[in-house]
Structures are given as structure tokens and as C-alpha cells.
Structure 1
Amino acid sequence: MKEFTLKQQGKIKRLTNETFKFDERVGEGWFSAVYFLKTKKIVEEHLSENIVTMQFFQKKNDAVLCGTDEAIALLHTFADHPEDLEIHSLQDGDKVSPYESVLTVTGPYQNFGYLEGIIDGILSRRTSVATNVYKVVKAAKSNGSDKPVIFMGDRDDHYTQQAGDGYAAYIGGSTAQATHAMNEWWGKQGMGTMPHALIQMFKGDIVKTAYAYKETFPDDDLIALVDYNNDVITDSLRVAREFGNELQGVRIDTSKNMVDQYFFRNPQIMGSFDPRGVNPELVFALRDALDQEGYHHVKIMASGGFNEEKIQRFESMGVPVDMYGVGNNLLKINIGFTGDNVKLNNEDEAKEGRRFNYNPRLEKVDYPVNQD
């Protein structure tokens, strides 16, 4: 199986300073831990000639690195005399190992040291999201298929983080994002069809909703959300019979606390599985119902509570899902980065248990960032 990361799409062009919208208060130390600010002042007054090397690493296996361009842009924007810093970095999309150095910065501590915690936070969040998405995408392809994963994290994310998290999801392999902001850094637009709110205003009539959608957005693929009435097979067939080949797909988003009406109509199949939410038996039944009436072309999108484990289970069972929508499970921050000073005036000097980890994969980053 070909594992996806952005590295496999071809040469990466690093994001530039112009990509990011930094808060100007970063340069005032507003977002830095106070002990870093105090250290900066002490060093300025007592040790201003010292040159340090700071390296950044994480401790998880199979992490997909993200946030390096953002961290470098931060340094180039807010460090004093950034042109004098020596920066080496891996690239967004690289797979990294535990304790592997992903970024090193060499220069006078007082010029950049107070940015350490912010860089840790950037790398931790972006790499966590990219790695989460990568694992979900890998699970969706575990059955030998090429099923897209849609990043639907808008309602679980703070709006100020959407651009960076959307980019991290893209680095991890997500093919589309829910909002325009999530696509801002990589030049696409958001993707979406209809929410439950639209169906509600048509009093639960999925056919009327679909007609209004098609009339308003005639160039869009018509994908109907079919769980509003908790009867996905009935509503899927209703809209399929009405639109035929114009219907490209249906999306199931049944709440994990709900049991679809299909199971109450067929109580004889109950008892051997959990019938709540979007479950394999419901998707199999939906696929069979569509195929029996000749709607083989209608794809099934499943969303609601999906994570790596649930997708792996669906794929191992051969559940006929054509694409997955995943939200809050992709936003969990489970990879932390650490920045350590490991060299002082080009000699090894670090706290006990830490040392300079030479990494031949690191690439020198020039100032200004090459924008060609």
C-alpha cells in the first residue's frame, strides 16, 4: 500500500512569511512564558556574547511532521537579527522518529530564545493533527481502496486555528476541508453540501431540500444528507428515485445514541451487534437497497464518530463506505515537542539526559525564505 504524505506529491515549496497572520504581540513577549522573558533580560545584561544551539524533537513513532514552515516564519518575523540565525529543518510532511531533531536554531540566545515555547506549541499542534489525519487516511486505504477523508473539524476547532489545522490535515492526506479558512494556506476552497439545518427548514422533506440545493448550486455534485428523519434507507431511496443519475451520493450522520428505523422494521436481525449510530449493518443494508433499484452509482459517505479504529473496523469488514467525514477525533493534541539548548559556543552543553542529536536529514534554511 502506498502511504500518503504531502512529500509524495512532488517537491514541496515552503510556505513563506506572507502565508501567516501572526499576532504582533508575539514580538512583545505576550505569548511567551515569563521565565523566558526574564532569561532574555539576564542574558542581554550578562552573557550577550554567547551563542547557543536549540534543537526541537518529539517522542512518538510514525509522526508526520508539520509546522516547520510556520515556526521558521515566526523566527524570521520576530527574532532579533533573524538574518544572523543559522536554521536547519526537516520539511512538513516528513515522517519523523522519536527524539529525531526536526529543527535546530543557532544564534545569540537573547535574539530568539523567548520564542521556544511558541515553536513547541506550533509543532505540537500541527504535527498532532497531521499525524491523526495520516492514520485515518491510512486506515481508509487499508482495504486496498482509495477512499477520501474529508476534514470536518470546524465545529470542534477554534476559528483562529482553522487555517493551520486545515493545512496540517492536508499534510496528513485529507483531500478536502469543510471551510475556506482551512484551505487558505494551500490555495483551495472549502467543500460541503447540506447540513441538518437546511432540511429542518424544509420540514424534513429531503426531496424538496435536494431540489432547492440543486437549483441554487447546479454545478455542485448532489450529495444528500439522509439521516434527518432517522430513516436513511427510506430517504435515500426517495431522493434517488427523484433525481436518478443526478444524485451522486448520500451521507449518513446518524447520532451514536440513535437506532435507525430500518432496525425497528427488521427486528429479526437485532441482537448480535450494536445498532446505534452509523454501523456496518446499516451501511450494508443501504448499499443493498440502492443497488436493488439500480442506483449503483450513488456513493455512500459516512460521518459521525469516526476515528482510526472505527475506520479500520469498517474496512476489515468490507463495509461499502466510499468516503469518510471525520471531525473532532483529528484535533486531539497527542504529540508534544521539546526545545532544548544543547550547544554553547559550539561545544556540547545540555541538561542531564539531553544531548545534541545530529540529523543528516536537516536542510539549511536561508534568510529570507526562498520564494521561487
Structure 2
Amino acid sequence: MYELTMLEAWFTEGANEVASFEFFVRALPSSRNFLMAAGLEQVIQYLETLRFSAADLAMLEATGRFSAPFLASLEDLRFTGAVEAMPEGTVFFADEPMLRITAPVREAQLVESRVMNLLHYQTLVASKAARIVLAARGKQLVDFGLRRAHGAEAGLLSARASYLAGFTGTATQLAGALWGIPTFGTMAHSYVQAHRSELDAFEHFARAQPHNATLLIDTYDTEAAAGTVVELGRRLACGGISIRGVRLDSGDLAAHARQVRAILDEGGMHDTTIFASGNLDEYRLRDLIQCGAPIDGFGVGSRMNTSADAPYLDCAYKLVEYAGEPRRKRSEGKATLPGRKQVFRNHDGAGRILEDCLALAHEMHDGVPLLGTAMRDGQRCLLPPIDAIRAHAARELASLPGRLRTLNQVQPFRPRLSARLEALVAQLDRGS
């Protein structure tokens, strides 16, 4: 609503100069050493299709808060501006603009809330997922989060964000259809409980899924069920059916995994994998891997797609330039850096991040500029497919210095401000 009330005020005064707004995070959560950019594709889709339908305008008219001329002006409103952004999968830090929108101010202001909504959530999840990827050390990771996600859209977008951050795939089928993300599915306890015995349940499932049989074995007695799997595996092998894996979902996962691995190996099922799930996050994965638990892959759900230990980012979308003039907010504790900006990243000889320089967009500095053009004159530029984003994210994680890869928080990494940006801040603060 406040976007709309401002739009009418600008419409009434006849103001619609070009404005630049930047999206950034003021400070990283206490448990984060870096963030990973995500959500740009959905922002571009939103801007491409921005328009008010007849039903939208009728709804606004019914509020009695807006004039007829203003509502009429919305009929032809489209996004005509430009978007500069960090590529999805890019690692970034506090105060660094992840995205900038430059457009007539009515357009640039109207889109604020949805743009923030899309960037915030996927960046939040991708950043959490990236930590899990680092902790997993190459193990298979599957997004299991739809059921406890904060709504269907969140469940879908978290599948995308976690995949681009390095997850192997998702249990959310629509994410596979939309983006080509590999999908995975096993079975629930209810399937086992509905049969007279675990043996019946396992056999029926394996025959129905002869090329994808992963059996959930902790409904009753985990080790006894592992023995049942061995018995069944011998019988099914005669018909050319192999049991691909077993899943553990409760109890002491490390202890159960060791016992189950021994039972499977003794039964000759060396190729049958062990997959674990159940309220997992990067801390539990770290502990399981450090203690040598023989687990081949993990299903990670609610703690990832709610980013349970850091459920929001202190992000903002702020005006930095209007009508060709830099603008700076000086509110206590929420001051902003003025002008359209670029982030220049320098790496050491080993390819690790050495320094970021935050400068005005027209400056030239050593290093790689991180923001590129994603949209021009209301039209999208070529964006990479999700597998290219995923590869970029992997390179970005590999570029993190060792101290930033740890799960424990270290001294925050912050960009250096260029001399010209510092001078502009001082100039605006003097009021000149």
C-alpha cells in the first residue's frame, strides 16, 4: 500500500524522474561469514510481466483511496528500466549492492516489496544451503523441505536456491519440471505400517520401483530391518532387481549407520547405499562426517529452507540516485552509501578472495566487477541456465578463504570504500 500511496503523490505532482535503488544487506547474521546471491531470475520474470489487470484496478478503486486519473495512469504501466546485478551464485558481503534497479521513479518504487521478497528468500536459503554443501564434503544432498516450508512458493523456490548452491536435487517434483533439477523420492513410514510385515512392504516397493528402490528401515527395529533387506536382496537379485539404498530417519544416525553398513556388507550388499534424514543441518552433517559415519547422502529439509538459525536478513532496497543526483539516507543506525555503485573483487594467487572494493559505478579499479547488466530498457538480457549458475556457485565457494568457510563466525569481511565514494559521503554529509 505504501508503494501505491507514493505513486499517487508523484503522479499528482507530475514527478517521474529516473531513480536508482540498490538492494543490499546491512549486516550479516551472527552465524554467517558470507551470503550467496539468488533470486535474480524470478525478479526479471516479475519485472517483465509487471502490469495492472482490470481486476487489480477495480480492487484499488474499491478502497476509495485513489483518484480516477491516477488509477487510469496505471493501466499502461510497464517496467521500462534497467537491472544491474551480481550473477546468481555469487558470494557477497555486508553493504555490497547485490542488485540495482534504474527506472522512472514510479516504476522503481512500485516494485520494491516484491523484488525484496524474491531476493531475500532465495538468498537466505542459498546461503544456508551453501554452508551445508561445505559441511557435506561432496556427499549427496537432497532438498526434503516442501512439507514444512512457509507456503508452496517457498518450498518451490527453496528447491531452486539449494540446487544452485550445490545440492544434488530435490524431492519437489515441480522444481524438476520447471528447472530440470534432479528429483528424488523414497517412501514414508506409512507405507511400511500399512503392510503386514516389513518384508512385504519392502518387496512390493522394490518390485514397483525396480530401478529406484531405496527402503526406509527405521519404522520398527532398524538393524532387524537391515537384515530383512539382505534377505530380500538375495531373492530379488535372481530377478535382476537390486536394492539401491536404505534410508535412516531417526535415532543415533552414526551408530545405526555403522551397524547397518556392517549388516549390508556381511550380506554382500556392498553397493547398497545409506541415506540419512531427520532434522539435519550443517552442524549435524559436520559432526556425522567428522566421526566417520558411513552415510552416503543426506536429505535436508526444514532447517535449510527456513534457515532455522538465521531466519531473515537485514536487507534493504534504498534510493541512491534521483534525477542524476546522488542521494544518501543518514538515519541513525541505517545510513546508506550514496550513488550507483560497483563491487570490484580481487583474488590472491591461489584464487581466493583477497579484497572487495566498493566504488562508484563509473570508477575503474583493479579486480573483477561483480554487477553486470541483467535487463535493459525493460527487456531481459541473456541469463545463464541453472546448471551454469550452479557451476559458478561452486567456483565461488572454492574462492572463499579458509577462515570464511568455517561454520563458526569469524571477524566479518567487509568491503573497502574507494576514496571517491568516501569523499561523496563526506560531501553529502556537509550538505554541499
- TM category (shorter chain) comes to 0.7 to 0.9
Equivalent in the alignment of 2:288: 314
Work out the CA distance in 2 between the residues paired with 1:364 and 1:371: 9
**Which of 271, 282, 305 in structure 2 is aligned with 1:297?**
271
Shift, 1:208, TM fit: 1.2
Counterpart mapping for 1:185-196 below 5 A:
185-188=178-181, 190-196=183-189
Letter in 1 for 2:179: W
Counterpart mapping for 1:1-372 below 5 A:
34-58=1-25, 59-60=27-28, 61-78=33-50, 80-83=77-80, 85-141=81-137, 146-157=138-149, 158-188=151-181, 190-203=183-196, 205-218=197-210, 220-229=211-220, 231-244=221-234, 246-254=242-250, 277-332=251-306, 333-352=311-330, 353-355=335-337, 356=339, 357-359=341-343, 360-365=369-374, 366=376, 367-370=378-381
Letter in 2 for 1:128: L
Q: TM-score of the superposition, structure 1-length normalised? A: 0.78
Shift, 1:160, TM fit: 3.3
Q: TM-score of the superposition, structure 2-length normalised? A: 0.68
Q: Which runs of 4+ in 1 moved over 4 A?
A: none
Q: 1:89, 1:104 within 8 Å by CA — same for their partners in 2? A: yes
Letter in 2 for 1:324: F
Q: 1:251, 1:300 within 8 Å by CA — same for their partners in 2? A: yes
Shift, 1:190, TM fit: 3.0
Letter in 2 for 1:119: V
For structure 2, the residue ranges without an aligned partner over 5 or more in a row are 52-76, 344-368, 384-432
For structure 1, the residue ranges without an aligned partner over 5 or more in a row are 1-33, 255-276
Q: 1:300 to 1:319 in 2, by over 3 A?
A: same
Q: Secondary structure at the match of 2:373?
A: strand
Q: 1:278, 1:304 within 8 Å by CA — same for their partners in 2? A: no
Work out the CA distance in 2 between the residues paired with 1:148 and 1:321: 10
Shift, 1:47, TM fit: 4.9
Shift, 1:250, TM fit: 0.7
Work out the CA distance in 2 between the residues paired with 1:278 and 1:173: 26
Deviations 1:48-97 (A, max 9, x none): 242211000123332111111111221222163423x1211112111111
Shift, 1:336, TM fit: 4.0
Q: Secondary structure at the match of 1:161?
A: helix
Moved more, 98-107 or 177-186: 177-186
Q: 1:312 to 1:66 in 2, by over 3 A?
A: same
Shift, 1:285, TM fit: 2.1
Letter in 1 for 2:139: K
Shift, 1:217, TM fit: 2.5
Shift, 1:46, TM fit: 1.6
**Cα-Cα RMSD:** 1.9
Equivalent in the alignment of 1:10: none
Shift, 1:368, TM fit: 2.3
Shift, 1:189, TM fit: 5.5
